[in-house]
Structure 1
Amino acid sequence: MTMMSKTRNILEGLVREGSFKWVLSNKSTFDEEFEEMERSPSGRRKWMSALSPIANVIVGRCSRILNVSMDELQQNFQKEASESVKHPSRYARNILEYCCFRALVLSTQVTGHLGDKNFRRLTFDMMLAWEAPGAASQPLLKVDVENTVGREAFSRIAPAIPSVADVITSADLFEVLTASTGGRLPFSIYEKYLGGLERAIKKMKSQSQSSLLSVLRLPRGERILEVDGTVTTQPVLQHVGISTWPGRLTLTDHALYFEALRVVSYDKAKTYDLSDDLGQAVRPELTGPWGTRLFDKAVMYKSNSLPEPVFMEFPELTGHSRRDYWLAIIQEILYAHKFVRKFQMEGVERDEALSKAVLGILRLQAVQELAPVIPLRCEALLVFSLADQLPGGDLILETLASMSASREFDRANACTPRSGMYSISSLAMLSNLGAVFGTEPRVGNEAGLLVGEIVVGEMTALERAVRESRDNFKKVELAQATVDGVKVEGIDTNLAVMKELLFPVTELGKYLLFLASWDDRLKSLVFCSVMSYVICRGWIGHAFGLLLVFIAIFMLLTRWCSQGRPVDEVKVRAPPTMNTMEQLLAVQNAISQVEELVQDGNIVLLKLRALLFGVFPQATERVAMSLVLMALIFAFLPGKFILLLVFLDMFTRNSPPRKASTERWTRRLREWWFSIPAAPVVLDGAKDEKKKR
């Protein structure tokens, strides 16, 4: 009794400090609930010695929801779970997950469960219990963190409710929700998030049942996800060419609709289909009056069915968050349909994929309502958009598709159909929330110990793919941070950095030119002899391979010798500081040099064209004879001898025996080249004048 008394005192402390306020109903208090467990140790509320006090209370709540005694829950877990799941080191957390997931399956089948305060408190306390499941866990949480949960608990419990979170985006959702609370999620923010999610779902239902359906004449039973441009102070402007119209923009789960605004009504909606394979592309774009590019507040949409791109502008006084939101949700629907087409999904599988996209957009709307001032990466909260950006995102989508097709998870233990566990799909969740979507979902006990994309005590194939992808993404972020840190401003400074980085290559090039100049005849003769011997023996491939091996050995030795030491910085002598005018002149000079290079390149191409079409017959005959001679050489001589001849010709040009003849032949070749006329060029400006008119 001493142990039970201590436990009772602990739980009384939790009640006084507000950890389990959801239990304080009109009928009973937390004290009464605990006394029931104490008075009836063999009844429905039996105390599990392996669990902590908070975990016992949560399991008791789950048993009441399921109308099953705690004894039966424990016995079912013993029968259905594998030995690895029942291992003593993991037993407490796994049986807690088992009870929580079973209760969630039943609770989420109730329409409007997101608005139930008891449901909100129960799911949050499940996360609290998940962090301290065992009897050896610290029973009394500190006051400053007792009502907060961490990332792991949220990512484990929340995805069991597809409307609340998703395995792929749960980590990013948690970061957004805890942006102002130091990485811990308090109940107040969690409750506000669920409230916002409930309002977003009601908004979608009301829009889809409004007069917009009849106005747009939606033929496919589409769901209206977002509408904008109905308020005169926040119009949506459509740009096509140099024409601009204000109007109303509507996004459904299949298409984008724009209705141009007239005096008292809207024109017939223009449809931009996102579901068919029309080579669609959506990206941010600059717009302005009369086709100018001034404001970064628009979305560009183009497809094979349109003669020219269409631009949707979302004006706002500061920033472009409104545009970013619309860009993200349009891309999410587009990516969802690409996913459906890629894996040839039909029927329930197709509706399930679209349901994931819809739920992601609803969660994004809830977060925007919760924290309108927090800068968001909207795509990070959307399943298909995030998978498109993450390293290995294609593997995530492949795993998601295989799970959707089979509704089975990659795990070793066998499951029995008596567990009462169900695979909660996103489609079923939308149906349970009262938003009937596509094909009616089929809910069945396909696998025990399974809820949605979560398996009790194990990681699913999807979770493993997401974790691996996020680990790789962290490496990419760290690498990108180093890239951003070494960026410098100014053309002269960047050229100085590049010159320093290319110093070894330039020095090697200078040394080869020194050997080719025959200023040191002995070194040049030795190099020429060695390279000729290597070419004759056919060792070029071996020499190149040896060079690669040498580089690899150098890298490994450098890594071994520099362990624990900071990376050596590249020291660059900063060029003299240039003011704005000097930088503009430097840019102009660089552009002029590039223009001269392009002009020289065009002249070479025009002269080659003149030779090809016989504008200069005598030169054309010489070139033709030279090409025939080269063809015979390539046809009858082995490749290594051709390479040897080319090397000896290029390397011995400045040697004492050949220097005079090389200068003479170089002069003759230059004179011959200058004598070749360029093919004529005529600039046709008729098309440009027509476009201007």
Structure 2
Amino acid sequence: MTMVSRTRSMLEGLVKEGSFKWLNKKRGIFDEEIEEMEQSPSAGKNWLPELSPPANVVVRRCSKILDLSIHQLQDNFDAEASESLKHKSNYARNFLEYCCFMTLSRSIQVAGYLEDNKFRRLTFDMMVSWEFPSDDCGTYSNVDGDVTVGIEAFSRIAPAIPIVANVIVSGKIFEVLAASTTDRLHFSVYDKYLIRLERAIRKLQSQSESSLLSSLRSARREKILEVDGTVTTQPVLEHVGMSTWPGRLTLTDHALYFEALRVVSYDKAKVYDLANELQQVIRPELTGPWGTRLFDKAVFYKSISLSEPVVMEFPELKGHTRRDYWLAIIREVLFAHKFLLKYRISGLERDEVLLKAIFGILRVQALREMSLTTPLSIEPLLIFNVCDQLPGGDLILEKLANMLTLGDGDRKRTLKSGNGMYSTSALSLASELGFVFGTSSSTTSDTRLVVGEIAVGKMTPLEKAVKEARSSYENVVQAQATVDGVKVDGIDTNLAVMKELLSPVTEIWNWIILLLNWENPLKSTAFCLISTYIIYRGWIGYALAALLILFALFMILTRYIGQGTPVDQLKVVAPPPMNTMEQLLAVQNAVSQVEELIQDGNIALLKGRALLLSIFPQATEKFALALLALALVLALLPVRYIVLLTFLETSTRYSPVRRASTERWTRRFRDWWFSIPAAPVLLERVGDDKKRR
């Protein structure tokens, strides 16, 4: 029996035995190609028994694009891959990834590849086959021919196309796309996303090729990422001091430009640089008429190159999504340049970093155009915004910098031209998308020297750092949820909760005061003798260590004894409800008490100033003599004895033997303190003069 007939018999037997039962229900996305492979005279050459039917179909498509036979691809993989990648347990998936990375690297070198429906379908089918690379992986869901993919498959294949996703934010992109489909991504949504992404690319190209700000942008070949304020119904307002001007706001990959609108034209653009270290501060801001702070719809910008801060307002009838979008993309460009300056990245690697920021903004623009059912949060979709917020985000940036700054020898060993063991880099797409960065991209023929973010069959250090940061972030979110759940309203209620929480500390403090006041002479004597012995022997450090050990043991015992039992809730007796007027009076009383404390503190400082300036000579002389005596004690006595004397003086102050003398000396000190005058103060009302002028 020939090889062709044996393969055909094997395929027919699999169908009869039910291994392809999913084919008997309804026509799926791979059915036609599987039947074609089955009926082909070269069926044996087109089918690998290690792979599942979907994986065989995808590998066959890859072989056609690469102009290599399936067995040639397999031979190349076996020759280049390490032994761990060729282990039987993961061979099918690793070989499939190898074919996918090779094919995608070739496919994205063609201009307009996102417009090709076959390319979009192929990338989605790669994700489907990745979930079921071999027959022992089970069967995939196929309902009315509508196959879906999960987050792991998307996060593995999509970042191999740098414009579609990135390792750092791929999970969030998937969550946005699959929000309305029970955490499974349908091809229709994925296809729409890629179409919108292609539109965003064309918009970027047309804006960057336009004459808008061409004289200012030409030196650094800046790309225009976003323009706003051109529609009269949606202006952008620039606030500088008390002046306000409508105008056009433009963001490039290096700076922010604002052109004030005059009658029929725009003024010369003001440049707010984002590429240099100018200690920029960019944050949300409140605006309103006559300097009031009413509307949360603006972006605050400040740098050392400006004499006063600038506020860009984005008016809209409802919400502040427009402002949030601009705030996020401005920060993305700023954070990207801060990353470049921190790690001193230049050349090809600098272009790669800027492309990562640009691609992130393009992805956000595509998602904003999709009319999603859930509100779109911008920051989690942008690489450098995410790293600024995530716990351990600095470690992600460190791994990214290490990946970008590999030595030339390491790069060539890591990424041989065309071997497909790594995904392609963002810079590989620059020429196809019409991007030119400075001189590095145009003069270098081999842009593939920048290593991709995904490796066949293993997690790169960057992926590991992202995974750890995401895990830590989930813990932070859970902790924050508990914090939000226990917040209560009202000053009186919060004070009641605080009082209950501090009750153990209050009890300990009351117990210490009880000992120091010698209300129970036996306990106070024992406390004084034990503490004196500890201080004399120099065991203070050991005593503190023993106290910390007791706390640790208590927590450990509580952890294991109370494991699985619900945490006891803190019971707080809520005070009677207060109306608005009572709450205002309570606030006023609290402010008055704080004011009195500040006044007392100022008086003490002014009396100290009077002592230093000898305004009251008799008091100054006594104070100077006391300082000299204290200096002699500090200079002559060891620290241990100073601590011992201080403790004995404090702990025996109200003992029966010393109580009368303590009260007498306290009275004398109070009389002396009250006799010291405060240093004079002159208040100049500068603000009142300005207001009158």
Q: Same fold (TM over 0.5)?
A: yes
1:349 maps to a residue whose letter is: E
Pair 1:311–1:139, CA change in 2 (3 A) = same
Equivalent-residue separation in structure 1 for 2:677 and 2:183 (angstroms):
73
Equivalent-residue separation in structure 1 for 2:414 and 2:397 (angstroms):
25
Q: Does 1:104 align with 2:104?
A: yes
Q: Identity across aligned pairs (percent)?
A: 61
2:642 maps to a residue whose letter is: I
The secondary structure found in structure 1 opposite 2:84 is coil
Equivalent-residue separation in structure 2 for 1:558 and 1:144 (angstroms):
54
Asked if structure 2 preserves the Cα contact closer than 8 Å seen for 1:58 and 1:125, the reply is yes
The secondary structure found in structure 2 opposite 1:250 is strand
Residue in structure 1 matched with residue 441 of structure 2 by the alignment: 440
Asked if structure 1 preserves the Cα contact closer than 8 Å seen for 2:396 and 2:466, the reply is yes
Pair 1:289–1:691, CA change in 2 (3 A) = same
The secondary structure found in structure 2 opposite 1:406 is coil
The secondary structure found in structure 1 opposite 2:430 is helix
Residue in structure 1 matched with residue 342 of structure 2 by the alignment: 342
Q: CA deviation at 1:404?
A: 0.8
Between 1:269-278 and 1:528-537, the stretch displaced more is 528-537
The secondary structure found in structure 2 opposite 1:87 is coil
Q: CA deviation at 1:615?
A: 1.1
Residue in structure 2 matched with residue 233 of structure 1 by the alignment: 233
Q: CA deviation at 1:542?
A: 1.0
Q: CA deviation at 1:145?
A: 8.8
Q: Does 1:89 align with 2:96?
A: no
Equivalent-residue separation in structure 1 for 2:692 and 2:77 (angstroms):
77
The secondary structure found in structure 1 opposite 2:245 is strand
2:441 maps to a residue whose letter is: E
- What is the correspondence of 1:208-607 to structure 2 with a 5 Å cutoff? 208-214=208-214, 216=216, 218-371=218-371, 374-406=374-406, 419=419, 424-438=424-438, 439-440=440-441, 442=444, 444=446, 452-607=452-607
Residue in structure 2 matched with residue 34 of structure 1 by the alignment: 37
Pair 1:242–1:384, CA change in 2 (3 A) = same
The secondary structure found in structure 2 opposite 1:327 is helix
Asked if structure 1 preserves the Cα contact closer than 8 Å seen for 2:245 and 2:260, the reply is yes
Pair 1:408–1:559, CA change in 2 (3 A) = farther
1:68 maps to a residue whose letter is: L
Aligned counterpart for 2:11 among listed residues 4, 20, 25: 4
Q: CA deviation at 1:139?
A: 3.9
Asked if structure 2 preserves the Cα contact closer than 8 Å seen for 1:14 and 1:20, the reply is no
Equivalent-residue separation in structure 2 for 1:414 and 1:332 (angstroms):
29
Asked if structure 1 preserves the Cα contact closer than 8 Å seen for 2:255 and 2:273, the reply is yes
Asked if structure 1 preserves the Cα contact closer than 8 Å seen for 2:423 and 2:454, the reply is no
Residue in structure 2 matched with residue 74 of structure 1 by the alignment: 74
Equivalent-residue separation in structure 2 for 1:78 and 1:513 (angstroms):
79
Asked if structure 2 preserves the Cα contact closer than 8 Å seen for 1:54 and 1:139, the reply is no
Equivalent-residue separation in structure 2 for 1:686 and 1:571 (angstroms):
52
Residue in structure 2 matched with residue 202 of structure 1 by the alignment: 202
Equivalent-residue separation in structure 2 for 1:139 and 1:495 (angstroms):
59
Residue in structure 1 matched with residue 663 of structure 2 by the alignment: 663
Equivalent-residue separation in structure 1 for 2:606 and 2:556 (angstroms):
50
Q: CA deviation at 1:79?
A: 1.1
Residue in structure 2 matched with residue 20 of structure 1 by the alignment: 29
1:41 maps to a residue whose letter is: A
Pair 1:534–1:13, CA change in 2 (3 A) = closer
Residue in structure 2 matched with residue 26 of structure 1 by the alignment: none
The secondary structure found in structure 2 opposite 1:455 is coil
Equivalent-residue separation in structure 2 for 1:420 and 1:90 (angstroms):
17
The secondary structure found in structure 1 opposite 2:250 is strand
Q: CA deviation at 1:513?
A: 0.7
1:340 maps to a residue whose letter is: L
The secondary structure found in structure 2 opposite 1:226 is strand
Count of paired positions: 681
Equivalent-residue separation in structure 2 for 1:201 and 1:352 (angstroms):
17
What does the per-residue CA deviation read over 1:574-622, in whole Å, with 9 as the maximum and x for residues that have no partner? 1112222222211111111111111111111111111111111111111
Equivalent-residue separation in structure 1 for 2:172 and 2:304 (angstroms):
35
Pair 1:581–1:241, CA change in 2 (3 A) = same
Pair 1:206–1:16, CA change in 2 (3 A) = farther
Unpaired runs of 5+ residues, structure 2, are: 1-7
RMSD across aligned positions (CA)? 2.4
Pair 1:407–1:366, CA change in 2 (3 A) = farther
TM-score by length of 1: 0.94
Q: CA deviation at 1:531?
A: 0.9
- What is the correspondence of 1:17-166 to structure 2 with a 5 Å cutoff? 17=26, 19-20=28-29, 30=33, 33-35=36-38, 38-43=40-45, 46-139=46-139, 141-143=141-143, 146-166=146-166
Equivalent-residue separation in structure 2 for 1:440 and 1:567 (angstroms):
60
What does the per-residue CA deviation read over 1:543-569, in whole Å, with 9 as the maximum and x for residues that have no partner? 111111111111111111111111121
Equivalent-residue separation in structure 1 for 2:101 and 2:441 (angstroms):
23
The secondary structure found in structure 1 opposite 2:538 is coil
Q: CA deviation at 1:690?
A: 2.1
Equivalent-residue separation in structure 2 for 1:409 and 1:481 (angstroms):
48
Equivalent-residue separation in structure 2 for 1:692 and 1:92 (angstroms):
82
Pair 1:212–1:366, CA change in 2 (3 A) = same
The secondary structure found in structure 1 opposite 2:297 is strand
Pair 1:294–1:304, CA change in 2 (3 A) = same
Equivalent-residue separation in structure 1 for 2:132 and 2:418 (angstroms):
29
What does the per-residue CA deviation read over 1:626-666, in whole Å, with 9 as the maximum and x for residues that have no partner? 11110000000011111111111111111111111111111
TM-score by length of 2: 0.94
Pair 1:134–1:103, CA change in 2 (3 A) = same
1:230 maps to a residue whose letter is: T
Residue in structure 1 matched with residue 690 of structure 2 by the alignment: 690
The secondary structure found in structure 1 opposite 2:272 is strand
Equivalent-residue separation in structure 2 for 1:690 and 1:33 (angstroms):
88
Residue in structure 1 matched with residue 679 of structure 2 by the alignment: 679
Q: CA deviation at 1:370?
A: 1.1
The secondary structure found in structure 1 opposite 2:374 is coil
Q: CA deviation at 1:424?
A: 2.0
What does the per-residue CA deviation read over 1:371-395, in whole Å, with 9 as the maximum and x for residues that have no partner? 3563222111111110111111111
Pair 1:541–1:487, CA change in 2 (3 A) = same
Pair 1:183–1:692, CA change in 2 (3 A) = farther
Asked if structure 2 preserves the Cα contact closer than 8 Å seen for 1:105 and 1:422, the reply is no
2:42 maps to a residue whose letter is: S
Asked if structure 1 preserves the Cα contact closer than 8 Å seen for 2:158 and 2:165, the reply is yes
Residue in structure 2 matched with residue 637 of structure 1 by the alignment: 637
Equivalent-residue separation in structure 2 for 1:177 and 1:563 (angstroms):
39
What does the per-residue CA deviation read over 1:416-436, in whole Å, with 9 as the maximum and x for residues that have no partner? 667366662212223222333
The secondary structure found in structure 1 opposite 2:163 is coil
Equivalent-residue separation in structure 1 for 2:373 and 2:416 (angstroms):
49
Q: CA deviation at 1:322?
A: 0.3
Equivalent-residue separation in structure 2 for 1:326 and 1:446 (angstroms):
32
Between 1:134-143 and 1:454-463, the stretch displaced more is 134-143
Unpaired runs of 5+ residues, structure 1, are: 24-28
What does the per-residue CA deviation read over 1:5-57, in whole Å, with 9 as the maximum and x for residues that have no partner? 25568879659856428x9xxxxx63663245x421344xx200011111100
Asked if structure 2 preserves the Cα contact closer than 8 Å seen for 1:253 and 1:333, the reply is yes
Pair 1:692–1:498, CA change in 2 (3 A) = farther
Equivalent-residue separation in structure 1 for 2:477 and 2:384 (angstroms):
20
Q: CA deviation at 1:213?
A: 3.4
Q: CA deviation at 1:460?
A: 0.5
Equivalent-residue separation in structure 1 for 2:684 and 2:642 (angstroms):
46
